[in-house]
């Protein structure tokens, strides 16, 4: 079983319910959610919006491959109402966003998936909830703890 860390975010609709619905689906379709951070209200990052975000991080135990996890997160996003992913650094409001942050200590660089997530350490809205559930986890690129 692999230990997978996911980042979740939403800034439209009933944000708490959006996150809860995503976690429920992740638990049903990807693997057992073994830890879930608190929900954090944050400002939009990378674009202007009048809608604040609600963010969280989850740890999931799965026997799926990284590409299978990615495919399922994209499907869950679509089924929960997300109409398009951000492309080329152009971000917009969204009902749900599920990012694959880390998959065990795997380092992967493909056209469709880069692990660990290349921007995660630059984003407080990812790192603050992640610290709550992954304080002792090491960055697979550096071998150092994420939070020292």
Q: Among all residues, which ones are annotated catalytic?
A: 82, 94, 97, 99
Tell me the backbone φ, ψ of residue 73, rounded to 5 degrees. Answer: -65, -40
Tell me the backbone φ, ψ of residue 85, rounded to 5 degrees. Answer: -90, 160
Report the alpha-carbon distance of residue 126 to residue 130 in Å, rounded. Answer: 6
Count CB-CB contacts under 10 A for residue 17. Answer: 10
Report the alpha-carbon distance of residue 134 to residue 120 in Å, rounded. Answer: 13
């Amino acid at each position: 079983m692999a230990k997978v860390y996911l980042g979740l975010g939403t800034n439209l609709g009933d944000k708490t319910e959006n996150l809860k619905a995503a976690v429920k689906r992740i638990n049903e379709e990807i693997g057992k959610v073994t830890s879930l951070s608190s929900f954090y209200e944050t400002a939009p990052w990378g674009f202007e919006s009048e809608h604040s975000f609600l963010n969280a991080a989850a740890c999931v135990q799965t026997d799926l491959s990284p590409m299978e996890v990615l495919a399922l997160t994209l499907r869950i996003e679509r089924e929960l109402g997300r109409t398009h992913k951000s492309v080329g650094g152009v971000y917009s409001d969204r009902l749900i966003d599920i990012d694959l942050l880390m998959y065990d200590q795997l380092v992967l660089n493909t056209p469709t998936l880069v692990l660990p997530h290349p921007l995660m350490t630059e984003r407080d809205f990812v790192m603050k909830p992640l610290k709550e559930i992954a304080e002792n986890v090491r960055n697979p690129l550096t071998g150092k703890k994420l939070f020292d």
